[in-house]
Homo-oligomer: A and B are copies of this chain.
Amino acid sequence: MSADDINNFRQIITSNGYRLTRAREATFRLLVSSEPQSVAKILAKAKGTVDRVSVYRNLELFEKLGIVHRVYIGWKHKIELSDDFVKHHHHLSCLGCGKIIDIEDESHIDEFIEHVAARADFAPRRHIFEVDGYCHDCKPTKTTR
């Protein structure tokens, strides 16, 4: 989380006619970790600083303004900083240890989406793509012992 990110955040909030508040900025700072976080975790971090309700309301606002977006990992959704803050991408998530590996290569998916969308005369806007499985350390196939 750079100073630039904070300025960028302030810019988005104010330029859209919303007020720059303590609760708002505190909530934004909780999203630092580049890894996607569950709402529960964010609420836990916010405890004592920002009220639950305000966290919910601001996450909703952030989503509307494109500051964050949801990703699905392990069949639960998590919140992740988006676009200007962290480039859109996908994940390999380990069912064993919970590790989350970023998938850098977006172009293949975009191509594929273009392909199927064209055939159905469909104009794509967003997509979800997440993979579950086992990481190097957790591969159950490995007969280490």
Residues on A close to B: CB < 8 A?
Answer: 70, 72, 75, 77, 92, 94-95, 101, 103, 105, 108-109, 112-113, 115-117, 120-136, 139-141
Tell me which of B70, B103, B105, B134 contacts A123 (CB under 8 A). B134
Q: In whole angstroms, how far apart are the Cα atoms of A140 and B125 in the complex?
A: 11
Q: Indicate if the CB atoms of B72 and A125 lie closer than 8 Å.
A: no
- CB neighbours of A117 from chain B (8 A): 92, 131, 133
Of chain B, the residue at the smallest CB distance from A75 is B70
- CB neighbours of A125 from chain B (8 A): 95, 132-134
Q: Indicate if the CB atoms of B108 and A136 lie closer than 8 Å.
A: no
Q: In whole angstroms, how far apart are the Cα atoms of A142 and B133 in the complex?
A: 41
- CB neighbours of A109 from chain B (8 A): 112
Q: In whole angstroms, how far apart are the Cα atoms of A9 and B25 in the complex?
A: 53
